[in-house]
């Protein structure tokens, strides 16, 4: 499964305004709700914030990947946002975050969840890809960039 298989224009935001990490995560979950795949939004919030308590999902290079697992979804749920202004996400490198990729997996699809987290991290680790994302102005452009970048990957 590719990242572009779980993203749609409706769950991509190019100018997300958030003043802090908590607000950003809540807005990402709201955005993911537009997918129609969430059964219980509060359960999704709980699993994401519980995971975030363990260690920040601000993984570095201006990128965060809040995630969690719950069976209160119909299928893998995602959302992607470029923040209007970078925010403190308690990232491991101390840098503010400009990109957030939310991923919610089902308890029964752990292997797929881990593979998607790995693929997202690999992609977002590329300086050139992040630079291209910053130049986008629409969710359609963002989705097209993900599809273009993933053409080089073998499907997992």
Residue-wise pLDDT tens digits, 25-74: 999 999 999 999 999 999 999 999 999 999 999 999 999 999 999 999 99
Distance of alpha carbon 140 from alpha carbon 122, whole angstroms:
21
Residue 87 lies in a domain: yes
- Whether residue 67 lies in the annotated active site: yes
Question: Structural domain of residue 19, as residue ranges?
Answer: 3-149
Residue 38 DSSP label: B
Number of structural domains in the chain: 1
Q: What is the CATH number of the domain that holds 34?
A: 3.40.930.10
Please write the tens of the pLDDT for every residue from 106-134: 988 878 888 988 889 988 999 999 999 99
Q: How many CA atoms lie within 13 A of 48 on its CB side?
A: 31
Please tell me which residue in 67, 82, 97, 101 is annotated as part of the active site.
Answer: 67
Question: What is this structure's pTM?
Answer: 0.94
Burial class (CB in 10 A: 0-12, 13-18, 19+), 42: exposed
């Amino acid at each position: 499964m590719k990242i572009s298989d779980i993203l749609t224009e409706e769950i991509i935001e190019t100018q997300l305004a958030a003043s802090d990490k908590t607000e950003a995560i809540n807005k990402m979950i709201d955005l993911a709700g537009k997918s129609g795949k969430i059964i219980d939004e509060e359960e999704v919030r709980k699993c994401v914030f519980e995971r975030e308590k363990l260690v920040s999902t601000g993984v570095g290079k201006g990128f965060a990947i809040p995630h969690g697992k719950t069976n209160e979804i119909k299928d893998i749920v995602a959302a992607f946002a470029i923040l209007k202004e970078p925010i403190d996400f308690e990232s491991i490198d101390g840098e503010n975050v400009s990109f957030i990729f939310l991923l919610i997996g089902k308890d029964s699809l752990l292997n797929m969840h881990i593979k998607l987290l790995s693929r997202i991290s690999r992609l977002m680790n590329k300086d050139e890809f992040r630079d291209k994302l910053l130049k986008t102005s629409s969710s359609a452009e963002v989705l097209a960039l993900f599809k273009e970048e993933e053409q080089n990957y073998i499907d997992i």
